[in-house]
Structure 1
């Protein structure tokens, strides 16, 4: 796992009259067949896998089950999972398998009663850089600068940004971001707040 930041600074202290602020556990998931990025309180990690076009149904299923099991193990039980939504303009590669994996993971989270937020790719990029059309390299650079993180891949950077968006929505931001970046939260399909703050 990559080190993200000093966790003691993650949740700023609240005024005494308000009582202690909740310490939310949020996971960010950048779901991919080749490298699913995961960000949790403990840091970031990646689940890399490879496949071939001629793989059998059984091999494809086993690959997806491996990714699912690794993700659910890493995430554990959290208060909110922020998952990057499908990219609708993506037409290459294994479209069916990518969609199937996405739903397997979301279903696994829902089966654990974990509220799920679906973050459009453009919202993730805008929160990170201020521009919705930013490339992965720009998001990686922004994540490393803003959160002081050492991130070996853009998959982990995306996952960290997704987690940061969830923390911001819950009122416990990982770092201060400009208002233009924060506007990206409006494009997210958030769950009922009551389900998260239970």
Structure 2
């Protein structure tokens, strides 16, 4: 199994051939301190938390643990977890340090459970949803609702749904067909070993 430090890129899988379609358990995860979006076969949800700049370290850690434990419960046992990668454009924002810690703790917990992890850059997520890598979250939300017929209350859940859809598409069982220009976004993702996912 390749590790998170393997920076090779796999080509997208060919569309599935006719015949029985394998059933993969794929989760999408948009990690956030204020609203972590999770998408699974059972639907989408958002883990809401609030914090203050003056919070103590134990309080900040308790907040992280709540998000991690709730997300892991929502995800359960899956064949692939598709996680949105860090947004380097927001590194100067308040809370970035805590968010980085949360990201690594949650991804580490997935790895410790032997769940293969795909890291999807924000621009790849946007491109898969809308065809444009610089699309804003509102455009991704609108595209996700229209393409998948989903009722999504916020952009966190929309992002998670798109991440899950990308993982299923990479495995050859897309939620629905998307234009080739959108699907090209799969090439920019850090995917795990495909055989490790397919053999679970």
Over the residues paired in the alignment, what is the CA RMSD in angstroms? 1.3
In the superposition, the TM-score normalised over structure 2's length comes to 0.90
Equivalent position of 2:49 in the other structure: 49
Equivalent position of 1:187 in the other structure: 188
- String of CA shifts for 1:52-86, please: whole Å, max 9, x gaps: 00000000000000000000000001000000000
- Cα separation, 2, equivalents of 1:57 and 1:34: 17
State whether structure 2 residue 76 is matched by structure 1 residue 73.
Answer: no
Following superposition, the deviation at residue 14 of structure 1 comes to 5.9
Equivalent position of 1:163 in the other structure: 164
The 5 A counterparts of 1:24-173 are 24-90=24-90, 91-173=92-174
Structure 1's unaligned 5+ residue stretches are 1-12
Following superposition, the deviation at residue 21 of structure 1 comes to 2.3
- Cα separation, 1, equivalents of 2:120 and 2:164: 10
State the number of aligned residues. Answer: 184
Secondary structure class of the residue paired with 2:163: helix
Equivalent position of 1:6 in the other structure: none
- Cα separation, 2, equivalents of 1:155 and 1:182: 21
Secondary structure class of the residue paired with 1:105: helix
State whether structure 2 residue 21 is matched by structure 1 residue 15.
Answer: no
Following superposition, the deviation at residue 89 of structure 1 comes to 1.3
Secondary structure class of the residue paired with 1:33: coil
In the superposition, the TM-score normalised over structure 1's length comes to 0.91
Question: Higher relative contact order by CA 8 Å / sep ≥ 6: 1 or 2?
Answer: 2
- String of CA shifts for 1:81-129, please: whole Å, max 9, x gaps: 0000000111111111000000011011011100000000000000000
